[in-house]
Amino acid sequence: MQCQWGFSLINGTCFIPTTCPSRQFFHFGQCYPVSPNCDKYDAFTGACVTCSDPTYQLSNGSCFQPPNNSVVCGLRQYFANYKCNDVSALCKDFDKTNGNCINCIFGYQISDGACILVAPNCRINQYLFNGLCIDIPYNCVAFNKAVGKCEIC
């Protein structure tokens, strides 16, 4: 016994196969390949649900790599790796091509394109507490700067 085109013979009966090999989808009696750009896809239409590459954009069931010049990022963002990336809130000014800080907000300085906290140099009669120089009480003879406590008055 033979079956018509598109049917499979299983135990003497003709069936329409509904399962396809890996990375294929079944649509109206046939298996079709899924786009290599798809990660997850609709089993009936083959439309992409998620993209295999996070830099790709999903549009109308297809994944594609967007051109660099078509993306408009926000004021505190820069475009890299096919997406808009946020700039550190510690940056006052930044390079729009790579997000590196050019100037930092008050109390921070640039180190390898990023802003880091500047630890102030306190005077001998002061101690550092929460990034600020605090005066040691004048009547304190022995002050523990590590814990911020007078040990002998």
At residue 51 the predicted structure's pLDDT band, cuts being 50, 70 and 90, is very high
Do 65 and 55 form a contact (C-beta atoms < 8 A)?
yes
Q: Give 78-134 pLDDT, tens digit per residue.
A: 888 777 889 999 999 999 889 999 999 988 889 888 999 887 788 889 988 877 888
Do residues 18 and 59 both lie within one domain? yes
Same domain, 59 and 13: yes
Q: Do 103 and 85 share a structural domain? A: yes
Total count of domains within the chain: 3
Q: Do 27 and 46 share a structural domain?
A: yes
Do 12 and 58 sit in the same domain of this protein? yes
Q: Which of 64, 87, 102 is the last residue of a domain?
A: 64
Same domain, 53 and 27: yes
Work out the number of other CB atoms within 10 angstroms of the CB of residue 99.
19
The reply to whether 81 and 101 lie within a common domain is: yes
Question: Is 105 a domain residue?
Answer: yes
Residue 10 has pLDDT above 70, yes or no: no
> What integer is the mean pLDDT of 17-28?
78
- Greater confidence (97 vs 1) lies with 97
Asked if residue 69 has pLDDT above 60, the reply is no
Q: Are 85 and 96 in contact (CB under 8 A)?
A: no
- Looking at residue 70, its pLDDT comes to 64
Look up residue 43 and give its two tokens.
């089993």
Confidence of residue 56 (pLDDT cuts 50, 70, 90): confident
The domain in which residue 131 lies consists of 120-153
| Distance between CA atoms of residues 8 and 29, nearest Å | 11
Same domain, 14 and 41: yes
Banded model confidence at residue 68, pLDDT cuts 50, 70, 90: low
Do 109 and 124 reside in the same domain of the chain? Answer: no
Are both 36 and 84 inside the same structural domain?
A: no
- pLDDT score at 100: 93
| Nearest to 65, CA basis, from 54, 50, 77, 78 | 54
Query: Whole-prediction pTM value?
Result: 0.39
Pair (76, 98) in one structural domain: yes
pLDDT of residue 95: 92
Nearest to 79 by CA among 61, 60, 99, 54: 99
